A and B are shown apart, each in its own frame.
Chain A
Amino acid sequence: MEEQAKKLRVGWFNFTCSEDNTIVLTEMLNDYWQEWKKKIDFRYFRILKTNNVMEQMDVAFIEGAITSDIQSEKLKTIRDLSTKLVAVGSCAVTGMPSSQRNNFDEKTTEEIQFILDRFGYLPKVQKVSDVVKVDAEVPGCPMDPNKFLEILNQNLKEFGIN
């Protein structure tokens, strides 16, 4: 029986952001869908599929900043399950613009405090590397597609995917 070609096990995760990087990825699919279908096994990709699994993956791509303890714990779980973790887009890499409330004056913070309390927001929004070790970054708002390709291809090579 023919052995199935090895694929890169990938998770794509969204935290606090506009999901612009996800949209850029769906546009990159226009050109790369046939190649990526053969080489990538999307184990977790909520915008693309319903049956997502949280289990060992080769590369986890993280979009968005971290706004709550729940998000922080989920990110740590993802880190534990992934060999490599890549922060994608400005919110994940720098925190901004999702972390803009970190720079609000006292009056504005008081104005929004009831929402922060009601939904369990962290006192300050964090970037991904504030919470877990990050192996690579794709900066940009939205992410730079060329840089994303470079990192993806590096990982395909590193994990021996032809």
Chain B
Amino acid sequence: MHQADFDLNLDKITKVEGSAGLEIRVKDNKVEHVHFKISEFKRFYTQAIRGKPVVAVPQLLSRICGTCSNAHIMCSIEAAEKALGIKPSEKTLLMRILTMYSLMIRDHALHLYLFVLPDIFNKDSFLELDEKDEAQHQLLHDAFDIKAAGNYLSTIIAGRSVHGPYPTVGGFTHFPEKQEIEEAIKKLESIRPGVLRLIEIFKNSPFHFDRRTKFMGLVGDRFDFLRGAIISSTGDMIPEEKFGEHLERVVIPYSQASGYEFEGESYMVGALARINLAKDRLHSETKKSAEEALSMFPSTDMFNNNLAQAIEILHCLDDSLDILKNNSFDAEEIIKFDVKQGIGVGVIEAPRGTLYHKLEVNDKGIVEKGEVIIPTGQNQINIEKDIGHLVDELIPETSEDKIVFEIEKLIRAYDPCMSCASHFLKVDWKK
């Protein structure tokens, strides 16, 4: 029987956000160690915010990440408002929910179409899908129409889908026009069939990887990514401001990002966790249209993170339509406030999972200290363990090329964001 005995170093993973590497040692048919190394160089945001006025911090922390930037803005604003004792208006809250929904639509679509679908169709890149094949031609158009609809909604509500300038501490600096709302409604309605096609593809995905783990997420009455308490699949329930106290930072010496455990246990955050924990809180139209797909949850199949994201796109679309059709977006003044000393925690669900920002502000409104805990950092330990289990299953019969492909597919299913995690994969086989 063939004996597996090798070192594998993967330098740059492709079709993920940011830079990560992987080193695996296999000896006598067993995985000895797996090191998932986030190789994105740090830019030291938590140090950089010290000494800055608190109202300036959300726009600076937005620059942690290009794709989840608006999530960082939302989370940082929440932390700042809690520190300053500001309660946002109902209209502000609805616009923040729309900011999150537009982000989810755009970012999940980017991940599912551009990063994951090529693996299903055995293509090097999404652009290689065959325009002469009816189904693939449809997918090409669906991808860009869905991303464009999310992008448009982000633009009219937040100012841009990347580093949106309109959200601020106390409200929004700009409000959409009536015809922009009508255009957003038209775009969202037109993409709905495409989202249903996407759900169908991932419902029937040929990829599976079962992993039992603790799932965690911020869950509220509405599936809006902004409000609620932290709950887990094993019955924990923690107010969001206490979340950080239950996490232990795990220094990973070969990675530029830290890992986290919840009371000594690794866990998973992200769309799979959210749908597992709170699918009953999805929009009623989403539950109706995605009934068969939702019956697959709760799920411990990591590849169902992709299906969960597709379902979230539908929910965000359906709930956005409700909000846009039933509310007025006339201009409203930003809440005036006096600066005061305070500590504030913001916790939201970013596309890849639970995001935590903490700010300590002095009596002049200047930030003295901050902390940011990123979803990918929380998933890092599980990612590493999963890769180990996967390689154990594949050796010794599987070829090196196939092992690398399977590892990359699994990492993509987690949808890691390395730019966030470093406040992939260069493979090096050594035999």
Contact = CB atoms under 8 A, between A and B. Distances in A.
A1 to B, nearest CB: 19
Interface of A: 14, 16-24, 26-27, 29-31, 33, 37, 42, 45-52, 67-68, 71, 97-98, 100-101, 104, 108, 111-112, 115, 118-119, 121, 141-142
Given A16-B40, A24-B66, A33-B127, 16 more contacts: A14-B19, A18-B66, A20-B65, A20-B163, A22-B66, A23-B67, A26-B147, A27-B162, A30-B151, A48-B126, A51-B124, A97-B60, A100-B48, A104-B47, A115-B42, A142-B160
B420 to A, nearest CB: 9
Contacts of B147: 26-27, 29-30
Given A68-B41, A112-B47, A18 B124 contact: no
Interface stretch (B9-17, B81-89, B324-332): B9-17
A20 B62 CA distance: 10
B379 interface: no
Q: How large is the interface on B (under 10, 10 to 19, 20 to 34, 35 or more residues)?
A: 35 or more
Contacts of B69: 18, 20
Contacts of B125: 42, 45, 48-50
Contacts of A111: 47
Interface of B: 12, 14-19, 40-45, 47-48, 50, 60, 63-67, 69, 106, 110, 114-115, 118, 124-127, 140, 144-145, 147-148, 151, 160-163, 253, 256, 408, 419
B60 to A, nearest CB: 7
B243 to A, nearest CB: 24
Contacts, number: 123
Contacts of B43: 16, 97-98, 100-101
Contacts of B40: 16
Contacts of A142: 66, 160, 162-163
A52 B426 CA distance: 12
Given A97-B60, A141-B163, A49 B148 contact: no
